[in-house]
Amino acid sequence: MSITFLHQAARGVAVSLALLSLSASIATAGNAEPKSRSASKAAKGNLRKVALSPDEQGEFANFSQWKNVADFIDEMVEKHGFDRAALEATFKKTRYIDSAVQLVKPAPPGKPKNWRAYRSRFVEPIRINAGVAFWDKYADALARAEQTYGVPAEIIVGIIGVETIYGRNTGNFRVLDALTTLAFDYPDTPNRDARMSFFRGEVENTLLFAREANLDPFSLLGSYAGAIGWPQFMPGSIRKFAVDFDGDGRVDLRGSPVDAIGSVANFLVQHGWKSGEPVAFPVTVARDETMRAWDMFIGQGLEAKFSLDELKGAGIVPTIEPPADMRFGLVDLQNGGEPTEYWLGANNFFAITQYNRSFFYAMSVVDLGRAVRTARSR
């Protein structure tokens, strides 16, 4: 969001909305625009003029004089044939976004995870009603995406609703400002080097995307983490997974909800979504502390890799019987001081976690999509 990325997982999306975006939409996380067909259309989407808040405007930093940025410019010149003077001028105009640095810092330790509280931020009347309106308006595009990619409309609706409340919160940070700040001045955290490398790659993708689409890179707006458009695709995800689903000759994830629909579906397929397969099944687990063999299945990664027999043998009991020939992972949704909720996640559940690496996020997408579908059928 798409799609693809980071988070200090649940926190990232939660702020993205409050943007995180993030993205949605992102940060998001999408705007992929090959050349527009007309000047009037180019004026839409990323190129629209918006009033930026002080947090979004940032401050002068003259990145062109930072040694790490100079090294990056050397690399872009050598690797991709960019003009050195033009890049130096670009980074001289790039601004430092302190709010982005503050927002990516890990949440304070000690507060227990609470699935029900998290879910309530996303599966609520505003998003459900907006989701019904979105589905009604773009029913044809959603049906076409489902037919083309095999991703149910409710999953696409769920992702766009969680990310940006159907385009309401796509973010107004200049993407190059936010990404450059995080690439070269990420806060001091245990994963700082990895995160700086990630964001440096996204600065590279932003400049490449802008060149490929013949855009001013400063026209790209998104979340504090650089996620763009209705589905909050990162620039790298735009280049890899975004599609021109409305057929106008360009990909525009900020200005075209139809492109967003197709791009979300394509992202999921490229990350393992299997048409016609289920997503998740509720289960119970043995609560006796002396019979916690199922505990070994907690924290085993974002992958469906265990057989049903293995899971049942450890005391995991499905309340709805899953297909015996599928693989699953145990999903634990912690509820603070209340009992944890458990599910068996199938392959398609873990495809959603590639959009945001959080069980809470993936289940919120599933639940919001289901709630919108139910409300729409009334």
Report DSSP letters for 277-346, one per residue.
---EEEEEE---TT--GGGGGTT--SS--EEHHHHHHTTEEESSPPPTT-EEEEEEEEETTEEEEEEEE-
Beta bridge partners of 343: 282, 331
| 3-class secondary-structure state, position 222 | strand
Query: Contact, 231 vs 159, CB < 8 A?
Result: yes
In angstroms, rounded to a whole number, what is the distance separating the alpha carbons of residues 1 and 361?
A: 11
Of 33, 163, 202, 204, the catalytic one is 163
Question: Whole-angstrom Cα distance, residue 158 to residue 144?
Answer: 17
Separation CA 191–CA 187 (nearest Å) = 10
Q: Say if residues 182 and 104 touch (Cβ distance below 8 Å).
A: yes
- Those residues with Cβ within 8 angstroms of residue 186's Cβ, 6 or more apart along the chain or in another chain: 101, 104, 192, 195, 196, 199
φ and ψ of 96, to 5 deg: -85, 130
Asked if 1 and 25 count as a contact pair (C-beta separation under 8 A), the reply is yes
In angstroms, rounded to a whole number, what is the distance separating the alpha carbons of residues 17 and 170? 8
DSSP string, 344-370: EE-HHHHHHHTTBS-HHHHHHHHHHHH
First to last CA, the chain: 30
Q: Say how many C-beta atoms besides its own lie within 10 A of residue 307's C-beta.
A: 13
- Separation between Cα atoms, residue 306 and residue 319, nearest integer Å: 18
Answer whether 225's CB lies under 8 Å from 30's CB: no
Q: Is 163 a catalytic residue?
A: yes
CA 200 – CA 97 distance, rounded (Å): 15
Catalytically active residues are 163
